[in-house]
Structure 1
């Protein structure tokens, strides 16, 4: 068994890397997807968010208004309040799902895709562990890219194929820079990670790096 953390900043391409690892047989646990499930009505996390932030974060259909919630979190500087509600529940669910996988496949490689492995302050600390993410993973992979590349990818994702006006491009660029400013720079993350995938170029170049790394992870999964 091997517990792998896969991280990278906004627009780094970590989701693309996760898909490539999945093609080799890795089990992927996407932190954002787990979080979205927990933000559905009747879930405890949903109730806690509404209680804390108020009805302004709800749409008419009682679903969370994720855009409004993001504005409150990032624009008003309340992101840590949101993280304190969401992160512990998501991390606990990740551990639960990983154990279920390992119970049925002892040699499984479980990859947790998460942008905020290092940034979160809401991980349970055991035995005085100063770096709690080390108790969650056997190794950590960083997907790194230049900031301008990340921003351009974010713009393309938000545009969803539609042309961007200069005003909208400027707005999204400012949003991307704000989000990136709240994340640890790649250079610092690289010092903490076991492996780094550089994703400034084509998907083919990223594929080559994943192809080289996969046998290393397989060996570790048998010997961990």
Structure 2
């Protein structure tokens, strides 16, 4: 078995890398997807957010107001308050799902895709990333590329004004500022994939790395 952390800053393309590894047979656990599941009505993160931030983060239909939470996190500078609620629950769920996979497939490669593997201080049992992963893969891209990808993702299917573009670019920079630099992450990672160019370049890197991971499992 091999527990792999797959990380990268906003717009780096780690989700694209995850899909490529999945084609080879890796089991992918997406932190964002797990978080969304646990934010549903009545789920643990939902309860924690409402208890901490109050009814102002709840929409009329009873679901969490994600826009309000994003505003609290990134505009009001309270991201650590959200992380302290969400991260332990998400990490605990990751570990639970990982164990289930290994019980069924002892030599599986399980990848946890998460932007904040190094940044989080809220392991399920107080542990840091070193105790949760056997290998770390970092996906990198130039900052200009990351910001352009963020803008493209947020504006998919609609035309935006120059003012809106500038606002999205500023939002991307705010979010990137919450994450440690690629240079720091590279020093902590076992493998680094560069994703600033064509998709075929990333595919080649994944193809080269997969046999190494498979052997380690």
Fold match, TM over 0.5?
Answer: yes
Extract structure 1 runs of 4+ deviating beyond 6 A.
none
Are 1:122 and 2:122 matched, yes or no? yes
CA distance in 2, matches of 1:159, 1:176: 13
Give unmatched runs, 5+ long, in structure 1: 127-131
Give unmatched runs, 5+ long, in structure 2: none
Number of positions where the alignment pairs a residue of Structure 1 with one of Structure 2: 216
Equivalent residue, structure 2, for 1:159: 155
Is residue 5–residue 136 contact of structure 2 (8 Å, CA) maintained in 1? yes
Equivalent residue, structure 2, for 1:149: 145
CA distance in 2, matches of 1:151, 1:118: 21
Q: TM-score, normalised to structure 1's length?
A: 0.95
Equivalent residue, structure 2, for 1:209: 205
Equivalent residue, structure 2, for 1:194: 190
CA positional deviation for 1:55: 1.3
CA distance in 2, matches of 1:161, 1:215: 38
CA distance in 1, matches of 2:206, 2:151: 25
**1:11 counterpart SS class:** coil
CA positional deviation for 1:56: 1.4
CA distance in 1, matches of 2:192, 2:126: 26
**Deviation readout 1:63-111 (Å, 9 max, x if unpaired):** 1111111001111011000000000000010000000000000010000
CA distance in 2, matches of 1:141, 1:206: 13
Q: 2:133 aligns with which of 102, 122, 137?
A: 137
